[in-house]
Amino acid sequence: MDDALRIDDLVKEYPIGSGRRRSIVRAVDGVSLRVRRGETLALVGESGSGKTTTALCALALERPTSGEVWIDGREVTGMSPKELRSLRRQAQYIFQDPFASLNPRMSVREIVREPLDIHRVGDSAGRDARVAELLGLVGLAGDAAARSPHQFSGGQRQRIGIARALALSPGLLVCDEPVSALDVSVQAQVINLLMDLQDEHDLAYLFIAHDLAVVRQIAHRVAVMYLGRIVEEGAADEICAKPRHPYTVALMSAAPARPGRGVHRERIVLTGDPPSPIDPPSGCAFHTRCWKAADTCRTVRPPLIELDPGHAVACHFPVRRDTELG
């Protein structure tokens, strides 16, 4: 069976500056990943890790510099505009900011109807009926359709965005930090909604996040990105229980989680900020902040190697959980 999404060796470069000071930033540097049907792959990383760029390239909202993107067995890179339009029915995007991603001048009905209008699905009455159905699906009252986005709270607006993304019954949703702009008490609602929808509609998610604790709830598999590259990838439970890359260990340690429950976690506080992709460190990009860094790390970039079945790490000195950390 075809994967819902497959990305092979994706590279995305942006030019910055102009004239003599012009240079190239490599935001994504050779990322490969696959999302199976009905599966959630979480892409985790901090600012500058290239996770959002990867997601935008996956849906052809950005043009990759090189590499291939396949959705449902069809190659996306190099598609004509017409083919791209039909691709939009298979794959949709959910944005981080529920305030910026809905047109303030449209009613909720117009917003959720827009994909149906664009792809001329059914007649007008049928589209309105579908809008009502979609709003019900994401837990909004029927009278929501006639109102404007600004009359809703952040969580409700994110539901509107989800309804719009579901309108064409896609098989793949790319969710770009869909809860990080929401109030804490509302985040759980939206995560639960996304999980329910996945069960009912056999959706595949590429789920972008910076918070491993959220990811553990929703994802089947996790890929951790640092400075444009995947540094660790594996099953969510496996990665959360036995992280092997020092960066993943640090991310886990920093994740805000409920204290006073379960085992006490070793706290690892990294020094410094994530380096800038404009001037990436040599060798392993993480060596500037890594407590295990040796000379090799400064010169040789570690390849992503499968250490255990389904668990790959790009590190010269992967952490051995049993001996090194409680």
For position 115 contacting another protein by CB under 8 A, the verdict is yes
**Which residues within the stretch 285-304 sit at the binding site for another protein (CB under 8 A)?**
289
Is residue 198 a contact point for another protein (CB under 8 A)? no
Core vs surface per residue 290-307: b (16+ CB within 10 A) or e: beebeeebeeeebebeee
Site string for another protein, 215-234 (x = CB under 8 A): -xx-----------------
Residues 73-92 that bind another protein (CB under 8 A): 81, 84-89, 92
**Touching another protein, residues 249-288 (CB under 8 A):** 250-263, 265, 267, 269-274, 276
The footprint of another protein on residues 162-191 (CB under 8 A) is 164, 168, 183-189, 191
Minimum distance from residue 158 beta carbon to another protein (Å): 11
Closest contact distance (angstroms) between CB of 169 and another protein is 13
* Residue 11: strand pairing partners: 29, 66
Interface with another protein: number of residues (CB under 8 A) = 84
Paired with 306 in beta bridges are: 312
In terms of Cβ atoms closer than 10 Å to its own Cβ (0-12, 13-18, 19+), residue 205 is: buried
> What angle separates helix 108-118 from helix 154-166, to the nearest 10 degrees?
20
- Rule CB under 8 A: say whether 318 interacts with another protein: no
In the complex with another protein, the residue whose CB is nearer, 130 or 164, is: 164
3-state DSSP assignment of residue 151: helix
Distance, in Å, from the CA atom of 193 to the CA atom of 62, rounded to the nearest integer, reads 28
* Residue 241 neighbours by CB distance under 10 Å: 11
- CB of 39 vs another protein, minimal distance in Å: 16
Interface region with another protein, contact rule CB under 8 A, candidates 21-29, 153-161, 277-285, 308-316: 153-161
Q: Contact between 315 and another protein (CB under 8 A)?
A: no
Residue 262 or 309 with smaller CB distance to another protein: 262
| Neighbouring residues of 142: CB distance < 8 A, sequence distance ≥ 6 | 132, 135, 136
Lookup: tokens for 159? 């539901």
- Count of H-run helices and E-run strands, the chain: 11, 12
Does the protein bind another protein through residue 106 (CB under 8 A)?
A: yes
Among 2, 9, 237, 324, binds another protein (CB under 8 A): 237
Looking at the Cβ atoms of 66 and 103, the one nearer to another protein is: 103
The verdict on 238 binding another protein (CB under 8 A) reads no
**159 φ, ψ (degrees, to nearest 5):** -65, -40
